[in-house]
Chain A
Amino acid sequence: GAGVSQSPSNKVTEKGKDVELRCDPISGHTALYWYRQRLGQGLEFLIYFQGNSAPDKSGLPSDRFSAERTGESVSTLTIQRTQQEDSAVYLCASSLMVGTDTQYFGPGTRLTVL
């Protein structure tokens, strides 16, 4: 079946603008995760959704970052007033259920803040 999809694949924006990144998880997956990967670095956990609720937002770098998930499917990550240090690849993953279950990653959105 279809994997995790993300859009847009690339986003270039100017400093100070808001951006929205979208993630479509695998159908039926209840858990959804957002990660950030800066150039040459590993993936950093941002936020996790169980259904539509986000029990752990501890990885969000600042209050400019927020995320929501509706209908136990699509999730959007919003970055307000973007800064150059927000430039990174933002990756979404989903898993069938909570617990030690395999996470399937999307291809990511490459965000460049000029």
Chain B
Amino acid sequence: GENVEQHPSTLSVQEGDSAVIKCTYSDSASNYFPWYKQELGKGSQLIIDIRSNVGEKKDQRIAVTLNKTAKHFSLHITETQPEDSAVYFCAATPPSGGYNKLIFGAGTRLAVHP
């Protein structure tokens, strides 16, 4: 089955710097790759997603890139702010009878220092 590896497990940056989190997946048929931000007491919120027919997607300071050949995708946060501090999870969706069975990475704890 699908397996998602996420790196790094922790990431510490200075405010204003960029942060990059990388994920690899094993099932080449996976076709949907969301990123979730998890904050204490706020649950998990979708911040950006990308589908397999697109190589890059951007939303303000957040971007995701997908390399289907290498089976990896990355989250890029530019001009980081303290409120970006959270745990970020990537996920992949292998074909599973047509529905979204999200397979998650282990998470990256991002700390943005003022």
Contacts and interface: CB of A to CB of B under 8 A. Distances in A.
Interface stretch (B13-21, B72-80, B94-102): B94-102
A106 B42 CA distance: 9
Contacts of A99: 98-100
Task: Classify chain B: how many residues form its interface, as a range.
Answer: 20 to 34
Interface in B1-54: 4, 6, 31-32, 34, 36, 41-46, 49, 51
Given A48-B99, A50-B99, A103 B46 contact: yes
Contact of B102 (A50, A98, A103): A103
A53 B105 CA distance: 27
Given A31-B99, A42-B107, A43-B102, A91 B43 contact: yes
Given A42-B106, A102-B49, A107 B41 contact: yes
A31 B101 CA distance: 11
Residue of B34, B44, B49, B107 with most chain A CB atoms under a 10 A cut-off:
B44
Interface string B85-109: 0000101010011111111111100
A101 B101 contact: no
A108 interface: yes
Interface of B: 4, 6, 31-32, 34, 36, 41-46, 49, 51, 89, 91, 93, 96-107
Given A44-B104, A105-B46, 9 more contacts: A31-B99, A41-B106, A41-B107, A55-B97, A56-B96, A101-B100, A103-B100, A106-B43, A107-B41
Interface of A: 31, 33, 35, 40-45, 48, 50, 55-56, 91, 95, 98-108
